[in-house]
Each structure stands twice: as structure tokens, then as C-alpha cells.
């Protein structure tokens, strides 16, 4: 009887593992097969000479370079806006908050996590209307607004990741710090946070991934089809997911659709690059903290 | 007799449950004081009352007075006007039952507390690290592996590292919570030898489960039961020879 249950459980686990592996491989293969043939400099820069495009000397009309840069800027700006409050809120929940306040704040984070991204986009849009109504006539949708709304969207992931990373540290660790005569701040800064860096950066990677792929929020808060490189915080911008969405919805011929797949593959590579960088950062931070050589 | 700690009417509760009942006791400055008693008799809580570590556990409530010797004077460590808890814990260094290295390299385990607590860095800190690692007889064993994770060393080595780490902060006294409970016989003996030497230099209060160890090291004994000190006696009052352990056993 017991063995049968174990067998069932094992089969289910194997099935789960196989299912995830298979789906993942299938999606990756599909995008790579469709996108790889068109993944070249022409896809990125169109007719513009690559160096001129990268330096911003000449605008790119036919390529996805502005969208790639737009997405990169958007992700970095979002991370910049979300990281500090997200991590601090997670630490607050894990180490400082007590009783009812903790419960209420956790609930608020859960609610925030449950907000659909289109609603968040709508919020950004309405925010601009409110600002205009309040007398700021020039307020308009832009990359800063998009990043702000995205930051709200991805912050819960960061809060939860930070909180669980700090909470899952062994309780003896903070006791050890206290017994050595470290102040609460010293233990947090020098031991507890570095020791949970892996989990915190994991949350950061998740947040960045989410910011890179989201389309609904930016659609209402400042993305456009053709604006060139983002010209500043108050400028409109292009983004890869929006380009993919737009192409999928409106393509005229087969080659345009192919460019959509090329953009999808580019977005995938960009995500991989961001994840890889974050991973390297995490390893460097951990090694430095631990003092291993 | 001079004292390193004076406890008066100390009561400690956790989540409303009383763990220490109105304890009044003095701890001698010279010679190791051993706290004896069965599990749950409140030994560890009493020890932690001396460096205010009880406050770091949930549901703590305490009243009464604890004064410890620091810089030649007795100083109250609870209530208004008391120094910060971190300062007190620096003065009364603690070693735990099981080794508790930080998840860092052995070297950083030694250097980080010196930097944070004393503000000592660089060559001075490294010299001090070597001095105290030599003091616990660990230097020769670990000098080529200073950058390896502290958790990769044996239990006995880790515990000696913990002792060196606390000694490097030059505390006024040592609080030991069954420092050899998780070690094998040989490692225990090494630690016991160290404690015998340290006894000359600073006051030591130690919780011990091992009667043999208590007999070997203790100068003063306090027997605890049900959150109270039920008996206090000196080394001289112990019967000689083999009967000592039986005598202690019967007391418990």
C-alpha cells in the first residue's frame, strides 16, 4: 500500500519534471527555429550603418534596435525604482514588523501582487489625467511613468523574495551576531542581508524578467511604435514586447511576421543576458561577503 | 570576596511562563563558577541574563537587577541608564553549546567582529587574529586554510575558533553554555585545558551537563532546579576522590 503511494507520487514528480522540461524546450526551440534565420544586423538596424545607430547619430527606421534599447532602459529604470523600496519593505516585514501591522502590510503586498498589469497601466494613465487636472498641463505618458507603474507591478515579487530570504536564515545567525556585540544595524548590514543576497537577487531577477516582458502596462503609459531611442525620462519609447505584440496583430506579409519572431528571440536573449549578469553579481557579492578565495 | 556579577531578585518570563523565580546570587571574580541542574532548570536563561541575550527571544519579560563588573566598577545592565545591549554583550563574551561560526571564511569570522565591535582593521586585526588563534592552539592547524569556510572545519576546531573569536574582543568575563556538549572526548579535553588557563585571566561562568567536567573545572557551584538556585557550594565542600560524581549525581 505504502509502496503504491510512493510509486504514484514518484510518477507524478517525474511527470511534472518532464512536463516542464518538455514545454520549456518546445518554446525555446520554436522561437529559435523561427527567429534565428532573421536574427542579423539587418533585423536590428535596418538600412542604417550599425555604428551610427549605436552612437545615435542616425535614426533607425526599419530595425528593432530602438525597441531593444528602450526595453533595456525600461528594465533598468524599473529595477532602480523598485529595488530600494522592495528590498527595504521585505527586510522590514522579516525583521521589524510585528503583530497586526505585519499582517496588514503582508495583505497589502498580496493585494498589490494580485493586480492585473492592465489595471496597473490604467492606473498610470489615470494618474496623468489627474496630474493634468491638478494643473500640470505638460504631464504625459513617458518612460518614467511606465517604469514607475512597472515598478509597482514587480515590487511584490521583490518584497516576498527578500522577506523569505531573510526569514529563512537560521535563527542562531542573528543570535550569534547579537552575542558578539553587534548592534542590530550592524548585524543586518554586515551579516544578515549579505547572507540572504542569493534570495534577494533571485527576486530581483524575477522582477527584471517580469518588467522586460510586460506589454499591458507600457501600452497605456508611453510606448509607441516608432519613436527612436528614448530621448529622456519624459520621452516616449519603443519596447520589444510591444513590437512583438504589434507585429503579431498587424503583420502584412510573411517577412514582417518573421521579424516578429526575430524580435522575440532578441527579447529572450536580452532576458538571458540580464539574468546572467545578475547571477554573476550575486556570485561576486556572496564570495566577497564570505571571504572565500 | 570580589564578584564579577551580582544578581538580585531576578525573575524572567517567556510568553507569560516563568523560567526564573526571584533569583539572588553573586558570582565570584576568581575561579570558574559552574551552573548545574537538569534540562529546563533555567541554567541557560540565567547565563543569558548576564549579557541580556534573553531579550532576543520572543515573549521575553524580566524584572530585577543584574550588575556586572566592568572597568573596575559594578554596573547595572537593566533599566534606564544602562549601557546598550551590544556593549554589555561585548563585555560579557559568550560561547554557545554548539559551535556557531558565521557563514564566512574562518578569517572573516575572526576579523569581522574585531572591525564591528572594536573598530580594529588591517594588519593590527590580523596580528590579533593570529595571537588568539595561537592561544586556543588552532593557528598551526588552520593557518594555510584561513580563507576556507569556517563550517568546513571539524566541530572541535570550530568551537575553538568561536572561543578565539570572543577572546579576541577582550571581554571582561566569559559566559560558557555547555561549551563541550557537542564535541567528542578529545576535543572536549582540549577546551577544558584552555579554560583552566583562562581561569587565571578572567571570570568565567559556565553551564555544564557533565559532572566529570564540573568536578575538573569548577571552583564554585550553583545547583538549579525549577527556575531557582537550590544549593550553592564551593570546591572545598566536595567529597574527595571518586565519590565526587556520586555526590553531585545525588544532588541533581
Q: Cell for B26?
A: 553573586
Residue A164 pLDDT > 90: yes
Helix (H) or strand (E) holding B146: none
- For the stretch A238-261, pLDDT in tens is 999 999 999 999 888 888 899 899
In Å, how far are A175, B48, B80, B167 from B55, measured between CA atoms? 10, 9, 15, 23
- For the stretch A72-110, pLDDT in tens is 999 999 999 999 999 999 999 998 888 889 999 999 999
Of A172, A186, A291, Cβ closest to residue B147: A291
Using DSSP, state whether B67 is helix, strand or coil. strand
User: Hey, how many other C-beta atoms are within 10 angstroms of the C-beta on A7?
Assistant: 10
For this complex, say whether ipTM is above 0.95.
no
Question: Could you tell me which of B73, B118, B76 has the C-alpha nearest to residue B93?
Answer: B118
The two counts, helices (H) then strands (E), for chain A are 14, 0
Residue A21 pLDDT > 90: yes
pLDDT class of B216 with cuts at 50, 70, 90: confident
Q: What is the pLDDT of residue B242?
A: 65
Question: Could you tell me which of B83, B43, B56, B8 has the C-alpha nearest to residue B178?
Answer: B43
Which of B83, B101, B102 has the highest number of chain A CBs within 10 A, making it the mutation to test binding with A? Answer: B102
Contact (Cβ atoms closer than 8 angstroms) between residue B27 and residue B4: yes
- For the stretch B96-127, pLDDT in tens is 988 999 999 999 999 999 999 999 999 999 99
d(CA B169, CA B132): 10
Per the CB < 8 Å rule, is A182 touching B116?
yes
Residue A154 pLDDT > 80: yes
Residue B240 pLDDT > 90: no
Q: What is the pLDDT of residue B148?
A: 92
Per the CB < 8 Å rule, is B100 touching A182?
no
Residue B248 pLDDT > 80: no
- For the stretch B16-59, pLDDT in tens is 999 999 999 999 999 899 999 888 899 999 999 999 999 999 89
Using DSSP, state whether B219 is helix, strand or coil. coil
Question: Could you tell me which of B217, B131, B224 has the C-alpha nearest to residue B176?
Answer: B217
Q: What is the mean pLDDT of chain B?
A: 89
Residue B1 pLDDT > 90: no
Cβ-proximal residues to B169 (8 Å cutoff; 6+ apart), any chain: A180, A181, B90, B93, B113, B114, B117, B118
Phi, psi of B36 (to 5 degrees): -110, 160
d(CA A102, CA A98): 5
Residue B173 pLDDT > 90: yes
d(CA B242, CA A173): 41
Per the CB < 8 Å rule, is A173 touching B103?
yes
**Does the beta carbon of A38 lie under 8 angstroms from any beta carbon of chain B?**
no
Phi, psi of B39 (to 5 degrees): -60, 140
Q: Which residues pair with B233 in a beta bridge?
A: B221
Domains defined along chain A, listed by start: 66-290 (1.10.3720.10)
- Name the residue with higher pLDDT: B100 or B81: B100
Of B86, B94, B105, Cβ closest to residue A291: B105
d(CA A177, CA B149): 17
- Name the residue with higher pLDDT: B209 or B204: B204
d(CA B160, CA B180): 10
d(CA A183, CA A176): 12
Residue A166 pLDDT > 90: yes
What residue in A sits closest to B86 (Cα-Cα)? Answer: A181
pLDDT class of A48 with cuts at 50, 70, 90: confident
Region of B37 please: left (phi>0), alpha (psi -120 to 50) or beta: left
Per the CB < 8 Å rule, is B113 touching A178?
no
Per the CB < 8 Å rule, is A176 touching B102?
yes
Residue A237 pLDDT > 80: yes
pLDDT class of A222 with cuts at 50, 70, 90: confident
Q: What is the pLDDT of residue A89?
A: 95
Helix (H) or strand (E) holding B160: helix B155-167
Cβ-proximal residues to B184 (8 Å cutoff; 6+ apart), any chain: B155, B156
Chain A nearest-CA distance from B251, in A, is 32
What percentage of residues in chain B have a pLDDT greater than 90?
Answer: 59
Mean pLDDT of A151-168: 94
> What is the full DSSP assignment across B87-104?
HHHHHEEEE-SS----SS
pLDDT class of A161 with cuts at 50, 70, 90: very high
User: Hey, how many other C-beta atoms are within 10 angstroms of the C-beta on B65?
Assistant: 14
Strand-by-strand arrangement of the B32-37 sheet: B92-95, B173-177, B204-207, B32-37, B220-225, B228-234
d(CA B187, CA B159): 9
d(CA B49, CA B22): 13
Amino acid at each position: 500500500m505504502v509502496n503504491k503511494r510512493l510509486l504514484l507520487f514518484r510518477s507524478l514528480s517525474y511527470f511534472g519534471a518532464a512536463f516542464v522540461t518538455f514545454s520549456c524546450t518546445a518554446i525555446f526551440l520554436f522561437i529559435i527555429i523561427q527567429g534565428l534565420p532573421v536574427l542579423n544586423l539587418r533585423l536590428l538596424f535596418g538600412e542604417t550603418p550599425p555604428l551610427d545607430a549605436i552612437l545615435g547619430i542616425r535614426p533607425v527606421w526599419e530595425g528593432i534596435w530602438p525597441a531593444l534599447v528602450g526595453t533595456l532602459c525600461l528594465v533598468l529604470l524599473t529595477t532602480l525604482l523598485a529595488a530600494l523600496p522592495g528590498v527595504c519593505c521585505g527586510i522590514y516585514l522579516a525583521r521589524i514588523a510585528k503583530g497586526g501591522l505585519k499582517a496588514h502590510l503582508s495583505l497589502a503586498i498580496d493585494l498589490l501582487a494580485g493586480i492585473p498589469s492592465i489595471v496597473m497601466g490604467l492606473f498610470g494613465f489615470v494618474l496623468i489625467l489627474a496630474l493634468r487636472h491638478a494643473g500640470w498641463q505638460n504631464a504625459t505618458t513617458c518612460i518614467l511613468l511606465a517604469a514607475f507603474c512597472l515598478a509597482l507591478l514587480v515590487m511584490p515579487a521583490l518584497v516576498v523574495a527578500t522577506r523569505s530570504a531573510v526569514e529563512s536564515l537560521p535563527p542562531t545567525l542573528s543570535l550569534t551576531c547579537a552575542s558578539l556585540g553587534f548592534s542590530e544595524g550592524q548585524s543586518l548590514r554586515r551579516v544578515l542581508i549579505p547572507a540572504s543576497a542569493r534570495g534577494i537577487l533571485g527576486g530581483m531577477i524575477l522582477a527584471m524578467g517580469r518588467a522586460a516582458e510586460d506589454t499591458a502596462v507600457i501600452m497605456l503609459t508611453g510606448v509607441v511604435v516608432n519613436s527612436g531611442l528614448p530621448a529622456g525620462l519624459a520621452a516616449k519609447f519603443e519596447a520589444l514586447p510591444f513590437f512583438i505584440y504589434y507585429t503579431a496583430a498587424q503583420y502584412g506579409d510573411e517577412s514582417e511576421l518573421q521579424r516578429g519572431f526575430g524580435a522575440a528571440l532578441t527579447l529572450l536573449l536580452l532576458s538571458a543576458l540580464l539574468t546572467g549578469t545578475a547571477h554573476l553579481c550575486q556570485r561576486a557579492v556572496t564570495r566577497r561577503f564570505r571571504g572565500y578565495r | 570576596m570580589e564578584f564579577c556579577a551580582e544578581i538580585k531578585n531576578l525573575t524572567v518570563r517567556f510568553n507569560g511562563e516563568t523560567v526564573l523565580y526571584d533569583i539572588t546570587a553573586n558570582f565570584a571574580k576568581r575561579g570558574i563558577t559552574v551552573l548545574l541542574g537538569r534540562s529546563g532548570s533555567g541554567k541557560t536563561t540565567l547565563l543569558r541574563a548576564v549579557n541580556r541575550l534573553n531579550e532576543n527571544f520572543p515573549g521575553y519579560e524580566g524584572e530585577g537587577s543584574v550588575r556586572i563588573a566592568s572597568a573596575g566598577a559594578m554596573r547595572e545592565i537593566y533599566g534606564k541608564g544602562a549601557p546598550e545591549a551590544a556593549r554589555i554583550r561585548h563585555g560579557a563574551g559568550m560561547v554557545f553549546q554548539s559551535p556557531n561560526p558565521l557563514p564566512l571564511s574562518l578569517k572573516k569570522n575572526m576579523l569581522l567582529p574585531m572591525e564591528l565591535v572594536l573598530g580594529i582593521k588591517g594588519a593590527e586585526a590580523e596580528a590579533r587574529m593570529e595571537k588568539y588563534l595561537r592561544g586556543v592552539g588552532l593557528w598551526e592547524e588552520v593557518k594555510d586554510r584561513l580563507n576556507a569556510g569556517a563550517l568546513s572545519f571539524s566541530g572541535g576546531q570550530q568551537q575553538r575558533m568561536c572561543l578565539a573569536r570572543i577572546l579576541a574582543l577582550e571581554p571582561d568575563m566569559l559566559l560558557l553554555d555547555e561549551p563541550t556538549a557537542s564535541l567528542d572526548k578529545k576535543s572536549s579535553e582540549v577546551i577544558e585545558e584552555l579554560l583552566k588557563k583562562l581561569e587565571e585571566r578572567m571570570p568565567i561562568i559556565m553551564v555544564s551537563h557533565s559532572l566529570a567536567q564540573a568536578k575538573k573545572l569548577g571552583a564554585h557551584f550553583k545547583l538549579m532546579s525549577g527556575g531557582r538556585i537550590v544549593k550553592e557550594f564551593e570546591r572545598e565542600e566536595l567529597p574527595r576522590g571518586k565519590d565526587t560524581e556520586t555526590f553531585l549525581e545525588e544532588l541533581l
